Amino acid sequence: MTPISYRLLHALPGRLRLRVPALSEVGVGESLRYWLDAQDGVEDVRINRAARSLVVDYDPRQLAQARLLAWLDAFGPRAGASQMRDAPDDPSIAPLVRNVLTLLLLPLLPRPAQHVATYLNIGSKLLKGADTLIHEGVKVEVLDALAVGLSASRGKLYTANITDLLLTLGEYLEERTQQQSDRLLRRLLRPAPATAWVERDGQLVQIPGDQVLAGELLVVGVGETIPVDGRVVEGVAMVNQAAVTGEDMPIAREAPKRVVAGSVLVEGRLRIEATRVGDDTTTARVARFIQESLDKTSETQRMADELADTRVYLTLGSAGAVYALTRDLTRVQSVFLVDYSCALKLGTPVAFKSGLYQAANHGVLIKGGEAMERLAGIDTLVFDKTGTLTHSELEVTDVVVLDPRCGESEEVLLAMVASVEEHATHPLSQAVVEAARERDLQHISHGEVDYMVAHGLSARLDCCRILVGSRHYLEEHEGVRFESHEARIARLLDEGKTLLYVASERGPMGLIALRDTLREDAEETLRRLRTLGIERLVMISGDRQEKAEALGRTLRLDQVHGEVRPEEKAALIIALQREGRKVGFVGDGINDGPALVAADVGIAMSRGADLARASADIVLTDDRLIAVADAREIALGTMSIIRTNFNATVGINTAIMAGALLGWLSPVASALLHNGTTLGVLVHALRGARPAQREKAIEVE
């Protein structure tokens, strides 16, 4: 990695301007922007690729100038965000300054010089209009050029310059608004970069996770995120792979097992060889997901664009008609300055992006305006039970005594297991300890706990040596057989429960069954969804039909499908669509991928499988089911904003057009009113839709 070179041009407290030659290279500008945006204390980053200029605004109370320059020193080709294309340069204020200076100089110049100054000032507008006409046909830029050019050609120099100033100001604010909505969205959704401890030159060096090279060796400890896909070369550990498998249950990893980026190491320590890095990791896929969110065009937006283009011809035709009837070029100029295009073309995407931003603030990642539009249009929502209506926090449901010789009752067995398990941090262990605490069971004294990572543990009690762990551990490593209790085991497993096996040196002692719990916000979520227009709520489950229906009655669901195999989920979605329903599906597992694709809109939970998130149109970034209702409310609100903006744009601009046709509005007044309408629409769109119930809850708190 070669650091970029730069030269400090100007420095003030909280603001730096630098010359960065590498900004002329494709992709560097936007990745550098992401790199700096992710750092604490950085407030705004502006780039001008043509001038190779970088301006950074920062909070000097949070961030020292030396630290900021050190971050620039650390930036390299692999240090920024995933290789995204460069966004357009930040809009330049130079044309506005030129307009103002021209207007100030006009009274001081002789008449011929006034003409020269005016044409130099409006020349870029005239050239842009000509270029647009040649390459794209009749667009709003052509109308603007005609209006300004007519004023100048008739000697109305102040009118030409003021009109050009108003148009340029409108363009600047429109571009600024549009880019700000993009930037806010990207900055909010960009995943925090993971760090990595890499072995280099015989030493451990901490570097950003996206700077790891294939083949390098990493060391990962407890609580750290694995930043790359790789292969374990040394160590034993429990790894939570919820980011990939959807199962929030730590699994054992040792050589030569593979690990994936985004997994969190819960216990132990691993030495890993990196096999897939950079753009191949989960972090890079999220970055691409964000880019798709900005790139996708909704049907509403496409229709707005087509209508806007049609309205340009309406403006041109109206101007031709008024000239034919009145021969009044002033009216023609006024008509040219009224167009529906800006507000229609810009208002819709800004509203969608503001909706995406608000959704992300509420823990929802939506893949573009089209997904939001479809979410607003569904009338049926299907939930996969496990991991969606229920979550991964386990609770003890059964304590089964198999041999009372050591544990005389369920309470004694649970107390013994909890006394030993309190020394472990596994979710199963925590659930058992919590169950004993709720029953107010006393701690039982025991000897030193022997812990085998990823398998189980053992300890000496007064009565016996107790062994707790998986069936594989007890049968294969400790020689304790459970075949004689197969019927009980099968019954508990059929109920969808997870089992913890307990034994002593004399044989099996008992079983502790655990299962996932109903989400606390499940009932509120479903109730809100009904108030937001969802007509039918359906649940799919692999549990027995009787068990699934019991949960369905609790949640007052309209339809419940039990004993559903993974491959049957998509078929159920398609069957509902054949009934004429617009269907959304909420899931989290690898086997939910086909259903997420088949649905009109697919929603993946935050802890869902990587494949599920890739297949989904919407991903929850917070582990809250209520975020589904928030997303629906934001989608409906965004579509309402778009309809309101559309009606306001057509109504107000039609009124301005009528005033221009009747000669009531001068070109300057026409430009002022039109640009004011456009900016009003953009401001309304930029506000974005917010979940009303969530806002009220926050106020109450």
- H helix or E strand, kind and range, residue 361: helix 341-361
CA distance 1 to 293: 30
Same domain, 601 and 643: no
Lowest pLDDT segment from 205-209, 450-454, 546-550 = 450-454
Q: Percent of the chain scored above 90 by pLDDT?
A: 13
The answer to whether residue 79 scores a pLDDT higher than 60 is no
Question: pLDDT band for position 501 (50/70/90)?
Answer: very high
pLDDT in tens, 195-239: 788 998 888 888 877 788 889 999 998 878 888 888 999 998 888
Same domain, 486 and 404: yes
Identify the CATH number of the domain in which residue 477 sits.
3.40.1110.10
With vertex at residue 288, the alpha carbon angle to CA 282 and CA 291, rounded to the nearest 5 degrees, is: 150
In sequence order, the 6+-apart residues with CB closer than 8 A to the CB of 460 are 446, 447, 448, 466
Taking the CA of residue 621 as centre, how many other CA atoms within 13 Å lie in the half-sphere pointing to its CB? 20
Does a structural domain hold residue 86? no
- The pLDDT score that the predictor gives to residue 83 is 41
- The pLDDT score that the predictor gives to residue 377 is 92
Same domain, 512 and 404: yes
Query: DSSP label at 237?
Result: E
Structural contact between residues 89 and 174, judged by C-beta atoms closer than 8 angstroms: no
DSSP string, 134-202: HHT-S-HHHHHHHHHHHHHHTT-HHHHHHHHHHHHHHHHHHHHHHHHHHHHHHHHHSPPPPEEEEEETT
CA distance 489 to 113: 97
- The pLDDT score that the predictor gives to residue 48 is 81
The SS3 call for residue 18 is: strand
Same domain, 612 and 562: yes
- The pLDDT score that the predictor gives to residue 180 is 62
Same domain, 140 and 225: no
Same domain, 416 and 557: no
Q: At which of 571, 591, 623 does a domain end?
A: 623
- The pLDDT score that the predictor gives to residue 289 is 52
Taking residues 329-358, report their average pLDDT: 73
Enclosing domain of residue 43: 7-78
pLDDT in tens, 655-685: 888 887 788 888 778 777 877 777 787 777 7
Same domain, 543 and 510: no
The answer to whether residue 465 scores a pLDDT higher than 80 is yes
Q: At which of 244, 266, 287 does a domain end?
A: 287
Same domain, 180 and 301: yes
Q: Which of 490, 495, 444 is nearest to 468 (CA)?
A: 444
Same domain, 511 and 403: yes
Q: At which of 46, 78, 110 does a domain end?
A: 78
Does a structural domain hold residue 384? no
Taking residues 600-619, report their average pLDDT: 75
CA distance 28 to 582: 42
- The pLDDT score that the predictor gives to residue 280 is 62
Does a structural domain hold residue 28? yes
Identify the CATH number of the domain in which residue 607 sits.
3.40.50.1000
The answer to whether residue 92 scores a pLDDT higher than 80 is no
- The pLDDT score that the predictor gives to residue 297 is 56
Q: Structure tokens of 455? A: 């398998």
Structural contact between residues 511 and 398, judged by C-beta atoms closer than 8 angstroms: yes
- The pLDDT score that the predictor gives to residue 695 is 43
Same domain, 646 and 575: no
Question: pLDDT band for position 381 (50/70/90)?
Answer: very high
What domain count does the chain have? Answer: 5
- The pLDDT score that the predictor gives to residue 350 is 76
Same domain, 618 and 647: no
Q: Structure tokens of 510? A: 């008992």
Query: DSSP label at 280?
Result: G
Query: DSSP label at 483?
Result: G
Q: Percent of the chain scored above 70 by pLDDT?
A: 78
The answer to whether residue 386 scores a pLDDT higher than 80 is no
Structural contact between residues 370 and 564, judged by C-beta atoms closer than 8 angstroms: no
Does a structural domain hold residue 383? no
pLDDT in tens, 143-196: 677 778 777 887 778 777 887 887 777 677 667 766 665 665 555 445 445 678
Identify the CATH number of the domain in which residue 59 sits.
3.30.70.100
CA distance 508 to 514: 18
Does a structural domain hold residue 387? no
- The pLDDT score that the predictor gives to residue 699 is 36
Its sign, for the CA torsion 4, 6, 11, 15, is negative
Does a structural domain hold residue 263? yes
Return the higher-pLDDT residue of 325 and 701.
Answer: 325
- The pLDDT score that the predictor gives to residue 149 is 79
Q: Which of 31, 24, 133, 156 is nearest to 84 (CA)?
A: 31
Same domain, 464 and 436: yes
Does a structural domain hold residue 30? yes
Lowest pLDDT segment from 98-107, 441-450, 629-638 = 441-450
- The pLDDT score that the predictor gives to residue 512 is 92
CA distance 603 to 257: 31
CA distance 414 to 399: 7
Q: Structure tokens of 40? A: 């604490």
The answer to whether residue 580 scores a pLDDT higher than 90 is yes
- The pLDDT score that the predictor gives to residue 339 is 66
- The pLDDT score that the predictor gives to residue 535 is 94
From 90, 144, 229, 384, active-site residue: 384
Taking residues 597-601, report their average pLDDT: 89
Active site residue 384: yes
Identify the CATH number of the domain in which residue 222 sits.
2.70.150.10
Does a structural domain hold residue 385? no
- The pLDDT score that the predictor gives to residue 590 is 56
Structural contact between residues 466 and 507, judged by C-beta atoms closer than 8 angstroms: no
